[in-house]
Amino acid sequence: MENKKVILTQDVIEQKITRIAYEIYEHNSDEQEITLAGIWDRGSIIARKIAAHLEKISPVKVQVVEIQLDKVNPATVTISEQADFTGKVIVVVDDVANSGRTMLYALKPFLNNLPRKIQTAVLVDRKHKSFPLSVDYVGYSLATTPQEMVMVDTEGEEILSAYLV
């Protein structure tokens, strides 16, 4: 049996997601539209939750798309909706940022356009970057050893907890 140490409960996660939504709006209040691009699958759940908050607190139109990629071999990246992202603000969303590799590859399809801004958001940032990526919106920042893993537990569209293994 794994030794799990809960670092974020469901209530705290909801508070973190709400705060991320406010920060995104604060930094993009002059925009007409924001695209939230969630990395499948937990990043997509978080993106949809952020979108729901943004729609409550701002007049900004929010589009949510899903990014599909193999986190082990991320050479092929697809987006659920093909759209012209030229001149758009894109926020790439994931559950945990570790090395930065997944997030960096997730940016690939957007670079075929000329977006106005690309930002990043994660629920948990582990601070073990091997790739040149800094996260713009962080729910919780955590220093861990490279051997430890942070897992986010979901059930359907609900995010139940984040824990350290």
Query: What's the DSSP call for residue 149?
Result: -
pTM: 0.94
CB atoms under 10 Å from CB of 4, counted, come to 12
Which residues are 96's β-sheet partners? 124
| Number of domains, the chain | 1
CB atoms under 10 Å from CB of 127, counted, come to 12
Q: Residue 34: is its pLDDT beyond 90?
A: yes
Q: Considering the chain, what percentage of its residues have pLDDT values greater than 70?
A: 99
Supply the CATH number for residue 34's domain: 3.40.50.2020
Residue 31 backbone phi and psi in degrees, to 5: -90, 150
**Mean of pLDDT values over 136-150:** 92
Q: Residue 2: is its pLDDT beyond 70?
A: no
User: Which residue range(s) make up the domain with 120?
Assistant: 5-164
Burial class (CB in 10 A: 0-12, 13-18, 19+), 43: buried
Cα distance between residue 5 and residue 102, in whole Å: 24
